[in-house]
Amino acid sequence: MQDATDSVGLTGRSVGNSYRLVKPIGQGATGTVWQGVDSATEEPVAVKLLHESLLRQPRLVTRFVQERTILLMLRHRNVVRVRDLFSVGETLGLVMDLVAGGSLRDHLERVRTMPPAEAARLAAQVADALAEAHELGIIHRDLKPDNILLLEQDGRLETRLTDFGIARILNVPSMTTPNAVVGTPHYMAPEAFHGVTPSPATDVYALGVLLYELVSGQPPYLSDSVPELMRLHAEGRPHRRRGIPDELWRVIRSCLHAKPRQRPAATALVRDLRLLARKLSGVPALPPPPPPRLPPADPDDMAVDPPELRQGIRMPGRHAVPPPRNAVPGHRWLRSSAVLAGVLLATATVVWRGGGEPRVQPQVAALPSGSQHVATRVASPSPSPARTRKKAASKRTSRPHRTRSPEPEVYGPWECAQGFVIDLSTRSPLVPRPCHSVGRDVRFQASLTAPAGGTADIEVTLRDVDTGRTVAGPTTCAGLTFTRGAMTKECGPAGAAPRRGRSYTVVMAYRYERDGQSSSNTARGRIFTW
């Protein structure tokens, strides 16, 4: 996926005062991160360029600039240092120290679990960075392994906390969209799900989840349903894996307390975690946990929509459809429209193996150009010998008739942007998902996952990133009704053949109404070049 800020044309270009772009190394919600070089000193740097498509949104530009302000205020060894802010063409750039060791998420995917002493030592560094941020009135709001970078010094890992893009300065009016909650559900404190003003205790809760994951290999709550996660976080009963030391478990439980006032301050955690890092030296890491057991798919559910929020949020260590470069989910729902789910059910082959549970094997499905109908190839059972002889005789007596089956159109996988918002006016967790698929032309659609009892209107368009012009659409779907059996509603797909060699994005506008309250919002898909 490419944007004007990560195209090949920028490679080798000088930006700002003296920074030369080498190659893109990451992409986030607001910008693309490049590896660069400070031409004046030849030092490696990281350059974060704001997506050009977002420059027309003043709130996001302000948030991007705010990230620099926050990071300039934080001069802590475990926080990524900001060097400069500059403008390049019609975009903004943020220059930071380059931390080349990857993220803590990358490290966890390799080692799966960490020895308790090492987990406590790294968590103490993060707590120390948070303690200084809290003293300045700043909270991170999205603490997770993805936002902790690593580097090796003297043979030991060191942490660098980054991505304060959604942090809030407590004495400054919030930049967040009204009636919206931001964060990653698996790391969110119970109060964060209800839009309560974030506090330092919010970060401490996320640190407790992080510490649990470092020693256990997975977060304490693994549901991929947002309502279920809300319930589990509120109940506050994480499972203790056998082998977690008592002292470490007491620290984890104190951080994961459902009541914010009962959680320790970050400064107290620094002291306790450093003590544990010394005391637990030599205790081995726990074995990696078994993969989470997900309930088998119910064919009755497949005929309507996937279970609630099945694709709505990102599972830690895994990724919702579409998968990134380094992860392939083991449990995936394949959908292109509500029609597709029903057709796959009708054409599925049930295979029995040794008295076990039946396994459903959907057959090949293709989307013909210009049509929303699904062409499928159905596997038939082997005919009996008698039936074969009868068909052969029929062929000899019948007039030959040959037909050529049309070749199915070939499209790439659906590329979808995952959104998660808790709307406070309707008190509803909403998951908008604008998607695109590329083949002979461009197909685009959107879906909204919302609680039962509500209705929604959805409008989907395809836009040119550089000009902001709508090149296809709108496709509109009005009066969509959400029920317990159908909590995801789709709009599309539609097709378009825009100019090649340009960058595009799918824009989804939606209005959700429930119990007499309504909310409106937009969501943008991933930027791609066709």
Q: Give the list of residues 6+ apart from residue 482 with CB closer than 8 angstroms, or none.
A: 450, 451, 452, 453, 454, 455, 456, 489
Q: Can you tell me whether residue 76 is helix, strand or coil?
A: coil
48 is in an annotated binding site: yes
**What does R_g of the chain's alpha carbons equal in angstroms?**
26
Question: H or E stretch including 493?
Answer: strand 488-496
Phi, psi (deg, nearest 5) at residue 498: -75, 180
Question: How many CA atoms does the CB half-sphere of 283 hold within 13 Å?
Answer: 22
Distances (CA, A) of 476 to 287, 470, 519, 520: 50, 14, 17, 15
Contact (CB, 8 A) for 139 and 167: yes
Range list of H helices, 176-239: 200-216, 226-235
Contact (CB, 8 A) for 302 and 237: no
Question: How many CA atoms does the CB half-sphere of 86 hold within 13 Å?
Answer: 14
SS (H, E, C) 352-397: CCCCCCCEEECCCEECCCCCCCCEECCCCCCCCHHHHHHHHHHHHH
Q: 193: which DSSP letter?
A: G
Q: Which of 142, 146, 224, 272 is catalytic?
A: 142
Q: Can you tell me whether residue 478 is helix, strand or coil?
A: strand
Q: N- to C-terminal Cα distance for the chain?
A: 10
CA max distance for the chain: 91
Q: Which two tokens stand for residue 203?
A: 């970060």
Note if 305 is an active site residue: no
Annotated binding-site residues for ATP read 48
| Active-site residue list | 142
